[in-house]
A and B are shown apart, each in its own frame.
Chain A
């Protein structure tokens, strides 16, 4: 795998000298090979003997640390998710880059090929890292490579600014992680995870919680939870679409991997439940992200930006499952089976989100490369021009809206079951909070459906609103192939979720030291999902997605035959009735108009601002032109970030007065700082 990614990166540099096209092709081919090897390795571990761990020492780079890779159940599962999407992205990428920017410079193509391979490679190895140093190296490689990819598509300053914000926030997160890791390594004296685990046993509760919060903060920045999400909707859309699919579908999951690794493995106490605060914080953050993410997504008109906000929402849903598992794990009188259900829901949503979000980003990429427009108000009518893309995008839209019979529903159903069971076992306020979080999850699902009715309807249906949309043609076959792969995953995971449960056995059993996923969730048969809400377990809830899908299919067939058989008169095509006026694109509902009722209902969160100016001819009744401008604000952005930005600017202004511009002055400052630092050191250790 390393060989594939490494070769891909190097070859893309070498070949770029002769032909950018060849370089792109070869680098994506190498990425594809790497992903296939990754799939093989992960499936080998997941389906192999229980508790199997692959360990591979790495060459000694530093005298003070032994580096190694170790693939256990959790690592293998995330490697599996990464490889699934990487396969699609590698198939999709070359045609997309050629169609999107045919006259790109050689250097840019080489950089994209290089960065893609580095990005995929570091994500894959991050999940397999067996020690803190490898972990941090890969983490940094992932950040830098994705930064290069974000700014590589450069058309304007917007991308560069997005990249800068991403860079600053990502490194803020890395700093937190560094502190957490270095505190642990200082105590253990070694970098490998086994030593860290041993060192973590002796931690006192306060330090343990502080370390967890540091790590959680670091990962939360990468995962883009509210209020640390501001970089995400800027950076993800700026990258090429198959990279957006990877960033949204997979890179955020790496942060989830980190959270799980820290909470259940590295920092977990030897016995007893996790500290009280951890699970509740994660649950709270998850719920907030889910609701706010989808609410802000609703008001976006940039297709890729909308999808990026949905990533915030889905990470929230995953974190609800993770938080619940943390609350329930080893809790007295609750039973480990329930924590397993919650963790299964979270991990299942991880792969589900990777599949449908990857699909949607690739679909948006197809639209983008054929129309060069991201604003949906300028699209429309694409379903007739790009039927494959439209159909696959609709599939992804149904899946992400958590509608049966596709995969989004399955993981949300499991989350609901876990939340309900948790609520009924924790009596008192704790149960109420969990139940409230279930209600918020329901709200999220409904809003997501509204958002995707808008996104799909405005982009693909109705009349084309601009020249670009009118002259769009279907995407090339290799791009469609990438989307079909992910679409098939969405259907398979929805209709037969039992296949995925088998893969979830190893990570759940290893993390929670309890029963595996399929023992808990598939106890009634391979095609049936079942959970027991009550401790007695007599009265479980069982559903069968396969049966329901079969029922749906046969009913569709019956309805189709019924309609065909009874119809005697013919089908006629006529213009839409527009009250007697000539139908134009102005009659189509726009995205802004579609989302307006919800904008008013949730006005307290959006603070919508609108400005309408009329140009009239003499009397107010004859309007010549109307100009409408509207915007909503992101609360986190205005209330936190702008304030911080103002403070920093003010501080910088104040310091400017002290800066003389002479080198002696600066040397003086450095000496002063050194003196103060030494003094502090003396006070602390002396």
Chain B
């Protein structure tokens, strides 16, 4: 196997994802602002927001239980742990087995479940509404996402993302099969849903007509809100990293040393930038869908994923 990743490198990659997460959000916001002919805030704005939130005091709802206090920490931990399962700078299975794509999706689902539980704790209608909608969309997104993962896993013979990326190798462009195109199409449909962006959700507003994820954060404040924000930045970059690992497993897998690491980081940054630009473009050019149109929208992804899987198996 080319380039097994030692535990230190895995943890380093995880830290890199957490540190770069807000930058991706900042970049998307900047691109959106430019597309709207605005100057927009700097790409570093999410970092400023986070440091400010972490220094603020907390106001907690009087109805909330002790769980409410714990939830931001747990959500952040689950999301960051998911980050440890994505190969960033180098392909290949980790030297110490950690988890595969299913575990990654499971950890993200755990974060979402805890967020929804936290939203119900404050006893306000907004939190409940957000939680209800989020938990409606999530069960529809998850199977499709799993099918996309399956369609590549069947080809590679493993669901471990690092090994999967290594297996598909660097000659990816010539080896793309019809199933890859369809799977990628399904993934593009799912990306806005999984990262909480238009046309499924709107990250910029708390308005009750649009809110899914943001509605659930309403009652969090101060460092707790900071943790939740950092978790959603991390979730976004982890999802993008998952797409990169599944469909663009291009990394200098066989080159060790500092050059290899640098090249890998550069390649990863380029992939993430392309996907982030895609998200910004979609968000600028579409309106948000009505909630009950979202299942139909996801249905397109489902059909693509199903055909991709069928092509692999038949």
Contacts and interface: CB of A to CB of B under 8 A. Distances in A.
Contacts of B98: 543-544, 547-548, 551
Given A435-B150, A443-B139, A589-B127, A559 B76 contact: yes
Interface string B43-57: 000000000001111
Interface stretch (B114-122, B179-187, B237-245): B114-122
B109 to A, nearest CB: 6
Contacts of B63: 381, 462-463, 575-576, 583
B99 to A, nearest CB: 5
B123 A462 contact: yes
Contacts of A438: 146-147, 150
Interface size class on chain B is 35 or more
B77 A446 contact: no
Interface stretch (B156-164, B271-279, B280-288): B156-164
Interface stretch (A180-188, A312-320, A401-409): A401-409
B153 interface: yes
Given A454-B135, A587-B125, A544 B223 contact: no
Interface stretch (A23-31, A364-372, A563-571): A563-571
Contacts of B132: 454, 589, 593-597
Contact of B103 (A404, A558, A562): A404
Nearest to B54: A566
B97 A567 contact: no
B113 interface: yes
Interface stretch (B19-27, B28-36, B306-314): B306-314
A387 to B, nearest CB: 7
A24 B32 CA distance: 69
Contact of B57 (A413, A429, A539, A571): A571
A136 interface: no
Given A420-B153, A569-B222, A576-B63, A457 B129 contact: no
B119 to A, nearest CB: 8
A577 interface: yes
Contact of A575 (B61, B139, B142): B61
A396 to B, nearest CB: 13
B99 A574 contact: no
Given A404-B110, A442-B146, A541-B159, A559 B227 contact: yes
A591 B60 CA distance: 24
B62 A573 contact: yes
B17 interface: no
A378 interface: no
Contact of B153 (A442, A454, A533, A589): A533
B207 interface: no
A472 B72 CA distance: 28
A97 interface: no
B314 A427 contact: yes
Contact of A424 (B139, B157, B295, B310): B157
Given A533-B153, A571-B58, A401 B103 contact: no
Given A548-B103, A574-B61, A601-B295, A567 B120 contact: no
A600 to B, nearest CB: 6
B308 to A, nearest CB: 11
Contact of A404 (B93, B107, B159, B163): B107
A572 B140 CA distance: 38
A539 B157 contact: yes
A449 B132 CA distance: 11
A294 B112 CA distance: 19
Given A427-B313, A559-B73, A566 B55 contact: yes
B110 A398 contact: yes
Given A533-B157, A563-B227, A573-B60, A601 B136 contact: yes
A462 B125 CA distance: 10
A446 B159 contact: no
Interface stretch (B78-86, B192-200, B246-254, B257-265): B78-86
B100 A398 contact: no
A432 B63 CA distance: 49
A450 B142 CA distance: 12
A578 interface: yes
Interface in A197-241: none
A19 interface: no
A544 B100 CA distance: 9
Contacts of B146: 416, 438-439, 442
Contact of B65 (A446, A460, A578): A460
Contacts of B112: 449
Given A442-B142, A449-B139, A461 B113 contact: no
Contacts of B141: 446
B133 interface: yes
B223 A413 contact: no
A447 interface: yes
Contacts of A572: 57-60
Given A461-B65, A540-B158, A589-B129, A398 B113 contact: yes
A485 B74 CA distance: 24
B291 A583 contact: no
Interface string B212-244: 000000110011101100000000000000000
A446 B129 CA distance: 18
A542 interface: yes
Nearest to B120: A457
Nearest to A449: B113
Contact of A439 (B84, B116, B117, B143): B143
B102 A416 contact: yes
B124 to A, nearest CB: 4
A257 B145 CA distance: 34
Contact of B131 (A380, A428, A457, A573): A457
A524 B163 CA distance: 16
Contacts of A576: 61-63, 122-124, 219
B160 A542 contact: yes
Given A404-B106, A458-B120, A552 B77 contact: yes
B55 A568 contact: yes
Contacts of B309: 432, 435
Which of the listed residues B63, B122, B226 has the most CB atoms from chain A within 10 Å of its own CB? B63
Interface string A259-284: 00000000000000000000000000
A598 interface: yes
B167 interface: yes
B117 A556 contact: no
Contact of B120 (A462, A528, A568, A578): A462
Which of the listed residues B129, B154, B226 has the most CB atoms from chain A within 10 Å of its own CB? B154
Contacts of A532: 157
Nearest to B163: A539
B310 A432 contact: yes
A519 to B, nearest CB: 18
A45 B158 CA distance: 35
Given A449-B109, A533-B158, A571-B58, A578 B97 contact: no
Contacts of B139: 443, 445-447, 449-450, 598
Contacts of B76: 555, 559
B67 A383 contact: yes
Contacts of B167: 539
Given A438-B146, A443-B142, A548-B99, A420 B292 contact: no
A543 B157 contact: no
22 contacts: A428-B313, A429-B314, A435-B147, A445-B109, A446-B109, A449-B138, A458-B120, A541-B158, A543-B103, A548-B103, A548-B107, A559-B80, A563-B223, A568-B55, A569-B222, A576-B62, A576-B63, A576-B123, A587-B125, A594-B128, A594-B135, A597-B292
Given A443-B139, A449-B135, 15 more contacts: A402-B106, A413-B103, A420-B150, A424-B154, A446-B140, A544-B99, A548-B99, A555-B80, A563-B226, A570-B57, A573-B59, A576-B62, A577-B218, A597-B291, A598-B135
